[in-house]
Structure 1
Amino acid sequence: MELRRIEILLEKYFEGNTSITEEKEIKAYFSSDLVAPELEHLKPMFVNFQNQKEIQFTKSLPLQPRKRNYVKWIGVAASLVALFGTLLYFNYNQNSDPALGTFSSPEEALVETQKALEMVSSEMNKGVESMAVLNEFEQTKKSIFK
C-alpha cells in the first residue's frame, strides 16, 4: 500500500499539486533505504534536492555600491553637442545673406516689426487662454479639498 501511495504522491508532485507535507513524505521515503526497485531511478534526484538544501552561501558580498561612470559620459556627450551646435551656428551665420533682415526705410522696418509682435502677441494670448482653464481647475480643487 505504501508503494501505491508514493506513486500517487509522485504523480501529484510532477504535476505540481503536492502540499509541503506530501513533499516531505516523498523526500523521507527516498532518503530511506526501503525504496522500491522501480522507483530507484528517482532517488538521486531527491537526494540531490536534500544536499542542495544543506549548502550554505559562503562568499562575501561587497557592501559599497559600484561607481556609475555614465554621469561622466553624459557630461562628455553634452559638451560635444554644445561644441557641434556652436560650430553649426557660426557656419550657418557665415553662409547667410548679410542683408537679410535689413530694410531700406524705417517705415518698412516698423511695419514688419509690428507684424512680428502681433504674431507673438496672438500666440501668447492663446497660451493665456489655456492657463485660464488651469486656473479654474486649481480654484475648483481648492474648494473641494478645503
Structure 2
Amino acid sequence: MESHNIEKLIEKYFEATATVAEEETLRQYFASESVATHLAQYAPMFQYFSHAKEERFTKPVPIKTGIRKQLFRWVSVAAVAVLLVGVYFNRTTERSLEETYTQEEIAAAQEAFSLLAINFNKGTDQLSRLEEFDKNTNKFLIK
C-alpha cells in the first residue's frame, strides 16, 4: 500500500475519525515487514495494540459476601434499635424551661439574646452600606 495513504490513515487515526476497517488496515500494514522507514516509529504502537487485544485476565477474583454481609446487617439493626431507644427516652424526659432553669437564669439568657440581637442588627446595617458601595463601584467598573 502506498505510504501516502497510510499517512492519511494515521492522521485520521490520531484525530479519532478513522473507522474500524481503517484501523485494521493500519494494524495489518504495521504487522507486515514492508513498513516505510519514516513510518517505522508507529510500528511498535500498533503491534502492541494487536498484542494487548489478545491478553485476558485469568486470575480468580475473590468475592467476600458471607461474614461481612451478615455483620453489616446486624450492625444496621443495632443502629436502628439504639436510635429508637434514644428517641423514646428523649420524649419521656422532656421538661419545660421553668422546671429546668430558675427565673434568674431565664432572665439572664433573654438579656444576653437581646444584646446579641442589637449587635447583629448593627452588623447587618454595615452590610447594607457595603452592598450600596458595591453597586456604585460596579457602575464605574462596567463603563
Range with greater deviation from structure 2 (14-23 or 61-70): 61-70
Q: Residue 3 of structure 1 aligns with which residue?
A: 3
Equivalent residue runs for 1:30-41 within 5 Å: 30-41=30-41
1:77 to 63, 76, 79: 79
Shift, 1:96, TM fit: 8.7
> 1:26-72 CA deviation, whole Å, 9 max, x = no partner?
00111112222222221111011011012122123458856364432
Q: Residue 124 of structure 1 aligns with which residue?
A: none
By relative contact order (CA 8 Å, sep 6+), the higher-ranking structure is 2
Range with greater deviation from structure 2 (39-48 or 87-96): 87-96
In the alignment, structure 1 residue 44 sits paired with structure 2 residue 40: no
Shift, 1:74, TM fit: 2.2
TM-score, with structure 2 as normaliser:
0.56
Q: Residue 20 of structure 1 aligns with which residue?
A: 20
- Identity, % of aligned pairs? 31
TM-score, with structure 1 as normaliser:
0.55
Q: Distance in 1 between matches of 2:59 and 2:95?
A: 63
Q: 1:37 is matched by which residue type in structure 2?
A: T
Q: Distance in 2 between matches of 1:88 and 1:35?
A: 82
Shift, 1:87, TM fit: 1.9
Q: 1:18 is matched by which residue type in structure 2?
A: A
Residues matched between the structures, number: 97
Taking a change above 3 Å as real, the CA distance of residues 96 and 90 of structure 1, as seen in their structure-2 partners, is farther
Q: Distance in 2 between matches of 1:40 and 1:58?
A: 33
Q: 2:74 is matched by which residue type in structure 1?
A: K
Taking a change above 3 Å as real, the CA distance of residues 62 and 41 of structure 1, as seen in their structure-2 partners, is same
Equivalent residue runs for 1:87-98 within 5 Å: 87-92=89-94
> 1:98-129 CA deviation, whole Å, 9 max, x = no partner?
xxxxxxxxxxxxxxxxxxxxxxxxxxxxxxxx
The two structures, once aligned, show a CA RMSD in angstroms of: 2.8
Shift, 1:3, TM fit: 0.4
